[in-house]
Amino acid sequence: MKKLLVLFFIIAILICLCQRPSKNRSPKPLNITYKTKSEHDKLGAFTIAQDFIESRLKCPRTAKWPWISYSKVTVHLGNGRYQISSYLDAQNGFGALVRTHFICTVEHIGGDRWRLVNLTM
């Protein structure tokens, strides 16, 4: 019984830690600024897509991205739009590691600004 109580206590702490907003992490608006080269490219699109996706996770600090080349999962659609199709592993609210597949479309809107067009998770 004592072991069960300790296990329950540990799980409750993990849930609280994952659901508590971080002091320095605010929700990202639809249009965010990401410092990239003045030209848009696949690397910039992939990196900004990671930011958009992590901002929607329960425990963004636990996100583990696959060791794949960004150029293999990023397609340039033309007119500054890119589609990224991949997956990531992250903890859910209960602390279980869950694989999430996603398709993210982002658009370079000038300078160092990107816009989220669509995100399916």
Residue 50 confidence (pLDDT): 93
What pTM was computed for the model?
0.67
Q: How far apart are CA 47 and CA 60, in angstroms?
A: 15
Going 23 to 26 to 27 to 33, the CA torsion angle's sign is negative
> Chunked in runs of 10, what are the mean pLDDT values of the chain (121 residues)?
63 58 45 54 91 92 89 90 95 92 94 92 91
